[in-house]
Structure 1
Amino acid sequence: MNKIGTVIGFTFRNKVKTKAFIITTLVLAIIMSIAINIPYFIQLFSGEDLKDGASGESTKIGLIYGQQAELAEQLDSYWKAQNNEDLTLVKYDTADIQVLQNDIEEGIIEGYLQFTEDTNVIFPAVIYASEEGEQLNPIAQAELTGALQTVKTQSIVKDSLTPEQIAELGTPVQFNTESVSLASGIDNKTATEENEAQEILNFGVVYVLIILFFFTTMTTGNMIASEVTTEKSSRIMEILITSVSPLTQMFGKIIGMFLVGLTQIATFILVLVANLLMPQNKQLLADFDLNLSQVSLDVLIYGFIFYVLGYFLYAVLFAAVGSIVSRTEDLGQAVMPITMLSLAAFYIGTFSISVPNSVLMKVSSFIPFFSPTTMIVRIGIGEVAVWEIWASILALVVFIIFFGWLSAKIYRTGVLMYGKRPTMKEIRKAMKAYKI
């Protein structure tokens, strides 16, 4: 036990201190930070807020009265009644282009609205003019469109409807969702936004877990195989096995690399949380009304279980393959079958995330090489019975034990086989000499 602890500690310290690990982690952390703050960077360089008024200043838009003074007055009155502080309408009696351009250049207004003077239509079109044809942001445009729709209704019906009836025309229709219970009939409990937020969070967690599994499998698995091959090609392995048994080396390296992967993931999580807590991102999260406490606990627990089991299944295979390769140049070709398996697991999980209950997902969730990604998709987004989850876990454990035993025999014989890559016949013959 002390020896395997020594191997684990040595492997962990040796890897986290390498330039490759530090640079890779740093570069990925920077990429994550940039990706999270892309909306803020767009806002910063374009000089616009994602939502006008987020900086505390109201956006001012000119409203030309002109010959359509009645419509402009109705729009202005309606807008003031909404108490919308994000956008203010500034009155202009006439469409004096020179005055309007000067005000835009001086920043008094960002643009101006003007009703066309076409008398052949029931309701005139509205033109928004701004410097270099810049458009209103989508939120302000949607709010103004709603206001104009109300003004249009008022203009068309005029005195044929009461003010209350006109106001009712502009009120959106309520659309509620009810759930049916077999025990008590129709449940009149309206669906809340919390359920939608939970689904969004579960979708995000599932997607992140799939990416983490693939990333960890590829990086740490290749590191395990590469380190074993390097030690073998440099003949250091001959010295190591005199003090530590090959099996202790193999499992020590696997656990040590697993801790390296967890360290990297923990770093990325800290970077993610730090960026999300920055002032410019807090408002965006508040707009989505997301709460991390809404994440399903089952998704996190089972996600971690499948992540760990899936890692060890692939790790023992990478270690076995690395032990039979004598030159690092041949390692890429040797690990190709394992790489293809992990790619298949990744693609099945991601491409079927919109159809978690498909036949492909159900079958793949019981194949240990694919279940770490497909089963977590079914747990987080689809429908799955508890017995299916534990049957998948049991299949994973059985495969880990079998391939761990097989990889241990291959590793024990392969680390001292030099020259060209041994054939399967030679490996089987050498394995018969050892009982594990």
Structure 2
Amino acid sequence: MNKFWIIVAHTYLNKLKTKSFIITTAITVLLLLGITNLDTIIKAFDNDEQTTVGVLSESEEAYSTFKENMKLIDEDLALKEIKSESEAKKQVKDEEIEGYLQLSINSEELPQGVYKSNSLAESAVATSLQQGLQQMKVAYATQKVDLDPQQIEEIYSPVAFEKEALVDNAKTEEELSQARGLVYVLLFVIYFSVIMYGSMIAMEVATEKSSRVMEILVSSVSPVKQMFAKIAGIALLSLTQFTIIAAVGYMSLQGSSSELSDFLGFSDVPIQTFVYAFVFFILGYLLFATLAAFLGSLVSRIEDVQQMITPMTLVIVAAFMIAMFGLGKPEASFITITSFIPFFAPMIMFLRVGMLTVPVWEIALSIGLLVATIGLLAVFGARVYRGGVLMYGKSSSFKDIKKALQLTKKESIKK
């Protein structure tokens, strides 16, 4: 057993010291700090003065009404009354104003406008001006039919509408919104980690084979121990990296006034959601790591690794795409069915657990099927790995699995 832990420690420490691990962790931490403090960063770099827009109006009254409406819509947008279009064009050219609005009253005594600027890329300004004109039009139209302010308010007040779940323990609208944000983040974590660390295991095995180190290892340690030692070593590496990232992200969110913290609502999410996230992350990792390890043992050149693990990657991508669809329709029959398929369960069942009240037996069945699949895959993968590590030459086809199994039988007969 000592040899097993030696390989675990060797794999873990070697990968921990690599530049790729350090750089990847550092970049991820920096990106996380940037995302969680995005509002602060934008404010620090946003030193521009208020956006000023000129207004050419046929009526002083219309201009005053429009100006009052714009104060309620966009406080950062300043209006400047201009008497002639030539003067407005000159001020745009001199960059004194962003653009100008030609405000007029049509034959039906309703306001209309034309916004002119050097570029139409700044759509936010045009949108705010359009909203101001829309409100102004509503005010003018209601005056024409002699509606008093109270009647206008009643017409535009939102309808009373509430949603109530018939099931007692169903999540509320607020809890569902918070769960959706958290599940969205954790789905990305599971997705990228499974792809990244699965590829890392396959690359590790292929690298050792290409350098002939495998021949020395096989003579001293059984291939099965090697495979599971590498899986355990990379698992420790992934937990180390995610512990660092999670700690930094949590502390950054706690000290941030960003709306992202309120959206995710970590403090209001049930602790079992985090427990299930960890469980499905570990099970998903073990499933695809075992698959990646024996696929990596079939190739002798690093260049062939990506081709060999492409089908596995496509399965992960498919699971992720289904999960993204499920965020909008978590109760769909398609989502329920795929949550019991082992290769999809780490993402899909976690999605359901995070957003719905799922019966315990369904969660237990999904986890049971997932564990059973990992066990079967481990037994089969170990047999393929035992023969695969002895195969050299160009290997990039799944037909090589049969050759690996034949080599395993020969080795067993010799012993």
Residue in 2 that maps onto 1:385: 359
Residue in 2 that maps onto 1:86: 76
Mapped to 2, the partners of 1:135 and 1:406 lie a distance apart of 58
Mapped to 2, the partners of 1:232 and 1:182 lie a distance apart of 57
Contact 1:233 1:327 (8 Å CA) reproduced: yes
1:364-394 Cα distance to aligned partner (Å, 9 max, x none): 2222222112212222345632211111111
Matched, 1:220 2:197: yes
Mapped to 1, the partners of 2:212 and 2:70 lie a distance apart of 81
- 1:101–1:204 Cα change, 3 Å: same
Give me the identity figure in percent. 35
Q: Which amino acid aligns with 2:61?
A: E
1:402-434 Cα distance to aligned partner (Å, 9 max, x none): 332333344345444556856266145237559
Q: Which amino acid aligns with 2:7?
A: V
| TM score, norm. by length of structure 1 | 0.73
Residue in 2 that maps onto 1:262: 239
Contact 1:75 1:151 (8 Å CA) reproduced: no
Mapped to 2, the partners of 1:383 and 1:335 lie a distance apart of 35
- 1:387–1:135 Cα change, 3 Å: closer
Deviation at residue 266 of structure 1 after TM alignment: 4.6
- 1:283–1:129 Cα change, 3 Å: farther
Residue in 2 that maps onto 1:318: 292
Matched, 1:153 2:133: no
Matched, 1:202 2:175: no
Between 1:423-432 and 1:245-254, the stretch displaced more is 423-432
Query: What are the within-5 Å matches in structure 2 for residues 241-390 of structure 1?
Result: 241=218, 243-266=220-243, 269=246, 285=260, 291-328=265-302, 330-382=304-356, 384-390=358-364
- 1:61–1:326 Cα change, 3 Å: closer
Mapped to 2, the partners of 1:163 and 1:335 lie a distance apart of 67
Mapped to 2, the partners of 1:311 and 1:341 lie a distance apart of 14
Contact 1:197 1:294 (8 Å CA) reproduced: no
Deviation at residue 177 of structure 1 after TM alignment: 1.0
- 1:331–1:128 Cα change, 3 Å: closer
What's the secondary structure of 2:183's corresponding residue?
Answer: helix
Contact 1:409 1:431 (8 Å CA) reproduced: no
Between 1:121-130 and 1:195-204, the stretch displaced more is 195-204
Mapped to 2, the partners of 1:224 and 1:234 lie a distance apart of 16
**Count of residues in correspondence between the two structures:** 406
Contact 2:383 2:405 (8 Å CA) reproduced: no
Q: Which amino acid aligns with 2:403?
A: T
Q: Which amino acid aligns with 1:430?
A: K
Matched, 1:172 2:157: yes
* Structure 1 residue ranges without an equivalent (≥5): 50-54, 184-193
Mapped to 1, the partners of 2:90 and 2:250 lie a distance apart of 45
- 1:230–1:379 Cα change, 3 Å: same
Query: What are the within-5 Å matches in structure 2 for residues 76-155 of structure 1?
Result: 76=67, 85-91=75-81, 95-104=83-92, 109-116=97-104, 118=106, 120-132=107-119, 135-137=123-125, 140-141=128-129, 143-153=131-141, 155=143
- 1:127–1:317 Cα change, 3 Å: closer
Mapped to 1, the partners of 2:99 and 2:311 lie a distance apart of 61
Deviation at residue 345 of structure 1 after TM alignment: 3.1
Residue in 2 that maps onto 1:16: 16
Mapped to 2, the partners of 1:250 and 1:164 lie a distance apart of 75
* Structure 2 residue ranges without an equivalent (≥5): 395-399
Q: Which amino acid aligns with 1:86?
A: D
